[in-house]
A and B are shown apart, each in its own frame.
Chain A
Amino acid sequence: MRVPLSWLSEFTPLDVDAADADGVAALGAELDSLGLVVEAVEHVGGGLAGVVVARVVEIRPIPGADRIRLALVDAGGDEPVEVVCGAWNYVVGDVVPFATVGAVLAGGVEITRRKMRGVTSNGMLCSATELGLGADASGLFILASTGTADGSLPAGLALGTPIAEYLGLVADVVYELEVEPNRPDCLCVAGVARDLAARRHLPFAIPQPVVAENGPPVGSLASVVIEAPGACRRFAARVVTGITTVASPRDVQRRLILSGMRPIHSVVDASNYTMLELGQPTHPYDLDRLPGRGLRVRFARPGETLITLDGEARVFGVERHRSGGERPVDDLLICDADDVPVGIAGVMGGESSEIAPGTSAVLIEAADFSAMAVGRTARRQQLRTEASTRFWRGIDPEGPVRAADRVAGLIVAAALAAGAAPPVVAAGVIDLQPTPVVRRTIHLRPGRLNVLLGTSLRTDAIAGYLAPIGFATEPDSAGLAVTVPPFRPDVEREVDVIEEVARHLGYEHIAPTRKRSPGVGLLTAHQADRRRLAGLVAGYGADEAWTSSIVNPGHERKLGTGTAPVELVNPIVREESALRTSLLPGLLGCLRQNASVRNPAVRLFEIGHVFAHPGAGVTLPVEREQLGVVLGFDGDGAPEAVRLWQGIAEGLGLADGGLGLVQDQPGSRAVLAGAGALGCHPTRTAAVAGADASGTVGTVGFVGEVDPAALEAFNLAGRRVGWLVLDTVRLFALRRREGRGPVLSRFPSSDIDLSFTLDSSVPAARLGSVVRAAAGEYCEDVRLVDVFRGPGLSPGLRSLTFRLRFVAPDRTLTDADVAVARARCIAAAEAELGAGLRG
């Protein structure tokens, strides 16, 4: 919302000079404090010497150029001047700003004589932006469109007049405001002025529009029927006849430009000006082009069509589904008396009744369409207009008649200023109001207000903040009965009124207080464990990655038959359209990305959510938090992954009981068939098993390597990548070592190494367990210290060396004690697994 300072000052005596930098800044700070965010402050109206008013008298193509043309303009001199111009929005007869050679434009650009494509350009035709006069840079700033090369200019003006004089340019300031959705009242200059006047304790008034009715009763000229009273709560219309469309007075043009709109002619300008000023959108119809000279407001029938002012042919009453089906929808249309659509209510008018140069009779519509009706249609049609935005936010339901009066008044004033024949205003207003507006009353408890804000405002002070913004107050049993003004549809309950008081008190005047929690701030056990886990993995050399949880479903399929992912209904791109079922694809993508920029080999981890489709009848996906680690250093592989897992188990203090790695034996895929084993190397992966506090043993994840096929799918073929995936909730539920400190023997231990030959198909862990069980009570530790395959061993066999540590709590063990245990271990290994002692 662009608001010129001069326009604001018309409603309240702000007394801020555009040249007073401090005053301009102070006003901006007040707007901020009121919640009207100042996004930019523009100073306008300076300079522009050398820019004059000129009329286009001829347009010629330039041979060989298809983007620029040669315009001959009459700038009041003896001969037309040749100017090269790249804009296309002008025709012969248009009056435009012409920057002569030597002029300096808004951005500091100095105009020189230039030669282009063999043609000399003696200056430049300008857009509003180039003149620093507004936001419209889309084409030339058309000052007047007379239709003919010798058309008339607004009274008293000659070609060659300096533009500053022509537009009556004065130094001004434009505040560009961001208006929050709950402040529809501030989508107009008057509303912003009201808020400022209240903050500054200044008087505020919206002048009553002056309309001199001098025609026949309006009812004899036009008719309006509302067939959808729920969506059109009020419809006001005025009729003005005897019109010639002329250029608007300078001030009207200037304000439209500063507000970011382009002046067209007196009728359209009057409508736009009124909307910017009062917030009420209006629409002018060419009454002579309205069959039956009347309007009907009704919902569209499915499939009805209309060509709107932007030239688009649009279909109404039906909406296409993504799936391809259609369903009927309510689109509110304005139709002529013959029931043919002539406009979309509150969004945009139709081409057929557009105001054109020949228009002489105008019906001005000022209605209150419901936010839902306008908002939904605008969204479906992807057509957000100044009007639809205002209806969607909510307009003043008591405003239509005043707006219709204002438009009529402006049309008449423009004609008089231009010296045209005075238009005739029909007597009276068509004013249909199927649903009367009832002003809302809210009970405000001053005590409640002070409790919520932390203030101690007296009741009369509260009323004092509310009155200037239109909230009437009356003492009642609860405190104050507050009548909400009609232009504040957002204020529905007590707390909304409290916000208004806080706003006008100023948030900066509410003293900050230190409120502390009565509780103790502690991480949950899960959160503390997760931090420890991340620390352990980072300590192992892995950098933490953050990959998107929205993934390419094709990537997951590359890794094998995972669970079906949850898919997005409305992805931005197909490549990011499913929720990840595994952290692996994302992490492999990172390895690939790092490889592509020739980074050294990396280890990466991520802790994040993965998602799976729930069973039938369940609405939400199965969502689990996992740790995923890819180990991509040179030489990394399953052994490193196992060591990482062992480090995690140690770091988390997991109890040994029940912990183990469960691996598929040749010919079996039982372990890897488990959920979560996506992308795991078939023969170099084990399930990580453990027992929880209740003793139940379950799988908490997988450890090993990434399947070579998966690596190939990610262009990482030929590498080994270690892979560990753990379900954090299950991991943290595993039994921990008891907190009691171990009792340490003070006697020396005896260590022995035992090397066995064992068939490669038998897990080393099984031999370890057998040895451990046979070693007896004095055995404190059994540890695998060496694995050997090769010369001296039959194929299919490998040598496994375990180091056993024996210690007694109360004495030094003798060689004989250890020899007995050793013999038991050897015998058990032989008997249970056929493992022979290696000489």
Chain B
Amino acid sequence: MNRKRADGDEASAGPPNTDVLRALVAGARQRITSAEDLAALSAVEAELTGRRSALATWKRELGGLDEAARRELGGELNEKRRVLEALIAERRAALVEVARAGVLEADRLDLTEVIPAPGPGHPHLVTRIREELEDIFLGMGYEIAEGPEVETDWYNFTALNMPPDHPARSGQDSFYVDLGDGESVLLRTHTSPVQIHLLERGVLPIYAVMPGLVYRRDTPDASHLPVFHQLEGLVVDRGITFGDLAGTIETFTKAIFGEDVRARLRPGYFPFTEPSAEFDISCTICGGVGCRTCSGVGWIELGGCGLVHPAVLESTGVDPEVWSGFAFGFGIDRVAIMRHGIEDMRAFIENDVRFLAGC
């Protein structure tokens, strides 16, 4: 109805007066805002501002007016056109937004309904701890040395100043294999044979750690496996002191367990070091005041260490008067147990994927 009136009445009735124009704009505004979609809006646009619109017709008819009337009406027509165009643009933007929202809504996805794909697997906890330890020592400029797991008794015992009757050499504590003469080839009981190989290499100084599997003849229980991981360290240089050993133990235990952890050395005994020490760290559970984990003493025994026994250096052709060194060792699995609260070591070799993926 509106449209008919605009087309018929005003276009044919000669130049519009102000009231007519105002009415046109008012009517147009109503039609524009009630256009329901982009197509309807385009149709309204054509009727209001297109070639056949009242505005266009009046503009064409301006030529018949005098100069002053033409200028006045022309300006007015242009202004009304701009108003209408602005109204249309505004309405179009709103309709585009509505359309886009509709499309997007139709595209909605619940991201919690995504079916999981098999994810990446996990390195073993012991591997992760081992690499973390390796990285600490790499950062201290150490190399990582490795060696075979089956050794002769020379590398595992004799060169390490362990006399023939040392209890560890008995078949009670070590696994011997069906090679060599008598009981002379065994599964290494520590990674110390790698120290001997390093010393025999004859390249000094040595700053190295040796991680790896070792074997002891223990029946598996919650805190023992016959196969376990150890990390030992060996430093041989000119003028290495017991103070250097104490400082190194302090440095790496803080790197592993945190800055708040304190380390202490107590006299101990190992055939391959002299002076020998056990090293403890302040209990990581109670911070050193005493709790069940540390049996109330505030300290947890971590490993053994000491200055390399001159007999060990001599057995590998290194002059102990020129070179001195220290060595230390501890269980990688034990660090894993302490850090992750693992109650039964046998979980390590059961390989239940819930365990492998869980810690």
Q: List the interface of chain A (C-beta within 8 A of B).
A: 32-35, 37, 180-183, 372, 375-376, 379, 451-455, 493, 495-496, 498-499, 502-503, 507-508, 510-524, 527, 531, 534-535, 537-550, 566-572, 576, 579, 590, 593-594, 597, 599-600, 602-605, 608-609, 611, 613-614, 619-621, 623, 633
Check B80 for interface membership: any CB of A closer than 8 A: no
In the bound complex, residues from chain A placing their C-beta under 8 Å from that of B349 are 546-548
In the bound complex, residues from chain A placing their C-beta under 8 Å from that of B122 are 538, 543-544
Nearest B residue to A538 by beta-carbon distance?
B121
Q: A453-B242, A538-B121, A604-B351 are contacts. A517–B148 as well, Cβ < 8 Å?
A: no
New contact pairs (16) apart from A534-B127, A549-B149, CB-CB < 8 Å: A33-B267, A35-B268, A454-B241, A493-B310, A502-B275, A517-B207, A518-B205, A521-B138, A538-B121, A549-B227, A550-B226, A579-B187, A599-B352, A603-B121, A623-B149, A623-B150
B243–A454 CB distance below 8 A: yes
What is the CB-to-nearest-CB distance from A722 to chain B, in angstroms, rounded to a whole number? 13
Q: A32-B266, A375-B165, A620-B150 are contacts. A593–B177 as well, Cβ < 8 Å?
A: no
Report B343-359 residues with CB < 8 Å from chain A CB.
Answer: 348-354, 356-357
Nearest B residue to A540 by beta-carbon distance?
B121
Among listed B81-89, B106-114, B178-186, interface-contacting one:
B178-186
What is the CB-to-nearest-CB distance from A498 to chain B, in angstroms, rounded to a whole number? 7
In the bound complex, residues from chain A placing their C-beta under 8 Å from that of B353 are 543, 594, 599-600, 602, 604
Check B137 for interface membership: any CB of A closer than 8 A: yes
Please encode chain B, from 149 to 171, with 1 for each CB lying within 8 Å of some chain A CB and 0 for all others.
11110000000000001000011
Nearest A residue to B307 by beta-carbon distance?
A452
B140–A544 CB distance below 8 A: no
- 16 A-B pairs in the complex with CB atoms less than 8 angstroms apart: A454-B244, A495-B310, A507-B264, A511-B246, A515-B247, A523-B144, A541-B121, A543-B121, A544-B123, A548-B227, A566-B177, A567-B177, A619-B180, A620-B152, A623-B150, A633-B118
Q: A510-B243, A512-B243 are contacts. A567–B250 as well, Cβ < 8 Å?
A: no
B243–A511 CB distance below 8 A: yes
In the bound complex, residues from chain B placing their C-beta under 8 Å from that of A542 are 121
What is the CB-to-nearest-CB distance from B303 to chain A, in angstroms, rounded to a whole number? 14
B351–A517 CB distance below 8 A: no
B149–A520 CB distance below 8 A: no
8 closest cross-chain pairs (CB), A and B: A35-B267, A517-B141, A454-B243, A454-B241, A521-B138, A517-B207, A180-B269, A512-B247
A568–B131 CB distance below 8 A: no
Check B7 for interface membership: any CB of A closer than 8 A: no
Nearest A residue to B177 by beta-carbon distance?
A566
A566 in complex: contacting residue of B152, B178, B276, B324, CB < 8 Å: B178
Nearest A residue to B124 by beta-carbon distance?
A544
Bound-state Cα–Cα, A611 to B171, Å: 21
Q: A451-B324, A572-B219 are contacts. A512–B250 as well, Cβ < 8 Å?
A: yes
B141 in complex: contacting residue of A508, A520, A605, A619, CB < 8 Å: A520
In the bound complex, residues from chain B placing their C-beta under 8 Å from that of A540 are 120-121
Nearest B residue to A633 by beta-carbon distance?
B118
Q: A521-B139, A614-B179, A621-B179 are contacts. A498–B275 as well, Cβ < 8 Å?
A: yes
> Interface size on B (CB < 8 Å)?
85
Q: A546-B349, A569-B183, A605-B121 are contacts. A499–B275 as well, Cβ < 8 Å?
A: yes
In the bound complex, residues from chain B placing their C-beta under 8 Å from that of A495 are 274-275, 307, 309-310
Bound-state Cα–Cα, A35 to B352, Å: 41
Nearest B residue to A450 by beta-carbon distance?
B241
Check B35 for interface membership: any CB of A closer than 8 A: no
Bound-state Cα–Cα, A548 to B185, Å: 19
Q: A503-B267, A602-B353, A620-B179 are contacts. A531–B310 as well, Cβ < 8 Å?
A: no
A522–B121 CB distance below 8 A: no
Bound-state Cα–Cα, A495 to B326, Å: 13
Nearest B residue to A531 by beta-carbon distance?
B131
B227–A550 CB distance below 8 A: yes
Q: A521-B140, A534-B127 are contacts. A593–B352 as well, Cβ < 8 Å?
A: yes
Check B284 for interface membership: any CB of A closer than 8 A: no
A570–B351 CB distance below 8 A: no
Q: List the interface of chain B (C-beta within 8 A of A).
A: 118-124, 126-127, 131, 134, 137-144, 146, 148-152, 165, 170-171, 175-180, 183-185, 187, 205, 207, 213, 215, 217, 219, 225-227, 235, 237, 239-244, 246-251, 264-269, 274-278, 307, 309-310, 324, 348-354, 356-357
Nearest A residue to B146 by beta-carbon distance?
A527
Nearest A residue to B238 by beta-carbon distance?
A451
B351–A547 CB distance below 8 A: yes
A517–B142 CB distance below 8 A: yes
Nearest B residue to A526 by beta-carbon distance?
B146
A545–B351 CB distance below 8 A: yes
What is the CB-to-nearest-CB distance from B253 to chain A, in angstroms, rounded to a whole number? 11
In the bound complex, residues from chain B placing their C-beta under 8 Å from that of A524 are 143-144
What is the CB-to-nearest-CB distance from B112 to chain A, in angstroms, rounded to a whole number? 20
In the bound complex, residues from chain B placing their C-beta under 8 Å from that of A35 are 266-269
Bound-state Cα–Cα, A599 to B243, Å: 51
B138 in complex: contacting residue of A372, A522, A609, CB < 8 Å: A522
B124 in complex: contacting residue of A32, A510, A531, A546, CB < 8 Å: A546
What is the CB-to-nearest-CB distance from A696 to chain B, in angstroms, rounded to a whole number? 25
In the bound complex, residues from chain B placing their C-beta under 8 Å from that of A548 are 225-227, 349
B148 in complex: contacting residue of A375, A545, A623, CB < 8 Å: A623
Bound-state Cα–Cα, A541 to B267, Å: 47
Nearest B residue to A619 by beta-carbon distance?
B180
Nearest A residue to B122 by beta-carbon distance?
A543
A543 in complex: contacting residue of B131, B151, B247, B357, CB < 8 Å: B357
In the bound complex, residues from chain B placing their C-beta under 8 Å from that of A566 are 150, 177-179
B241–A537 CB distance below 8 A: no
A579–B235 CB distance below 8 A: no
What is the CB-to-nearest-CB distance from A500 to chain B, in angstroms, rounded to a whole number? 9
B248–A515 CB distance below 8 A: yes
B350–A568 CB distance below 8 A: no
Q: A512-B250, A521-B142 are contacts. A507–B170 as well, Cβ < 8 Å?
A: no
Bound-state Cα–Cα, A372 to B166, Å: 10
Q: A538-B121, A541-B120 are contacts. A570–B176 as well, Cβ < 8 Å?
A: yes
What is the CB-to-nearest-CB distance from B348 to chain A, in angstroms, rounded to a whole number? 6
Nearest A residue to B163 by beta-carbon distance?
A372
A513–B324 CB distance below 8 A: no
B176–A518 CB distance below 8 A: no
B356 in complex: contacting residue of A452, A517, A545, CB < 8 Å: A545
A451–B266 CB distance below 8 A: no
A611 in complex: contacting residue of B150, B165, B180, CB < 8 Å: B150
Nearest B residue to A514 by beta-carbon distance?
B247
A594 in complex: contacting residue of B139, B140, B265, B351, CB < 8 Å: B351
A609–B149 CB distance below 8 A: yes
Bound-state Cα–Cα, A531 to B165, Å: 41
In the bound complex, residues from chain A placing their C-beta under 8 Å from that of B123 are 534-535, 538, 544
In the bound complex, residues from chain A placing their C-beta under 8 Å from that of B137 are 521
In the bound complex, residues from chain A placing their C-beta under 8 Å from that of B309 are 495
Bound-state Cα–Cα, A616 to B277, Å: 43
Nearest B residue to A453 by beta-carbon distance?
B242
B348–A546 CB distance below 8 A: yes
In the bound complex, residues from chain A placing their C-beta under 8 Å from that of B352 are 593-594, 597, 599
In the bound complex, residues from chain A placing their C-beta under 8 Å from that of B242 are 452-454, 502, 507, 510
A372 in complex: contacting residue of B165, B180, B350, CB < 8 Å: B165
Bound-state Cα–Cα, A433 to B248, Å: 49
A507–B267 CB distance below 8 A: yes
B269–A546 CB distance below 8 A: no
Bound-state Cα–Cα, A32 to B267, Å: 8
Q: A451-B239, A541-B119, A599-B352 are contacts. A519–B246 as well, Cβ < 8 Å?
A: no
B143 in complex: contacting residue of A183, A513, A521, A608, CB < 8 Å: A521
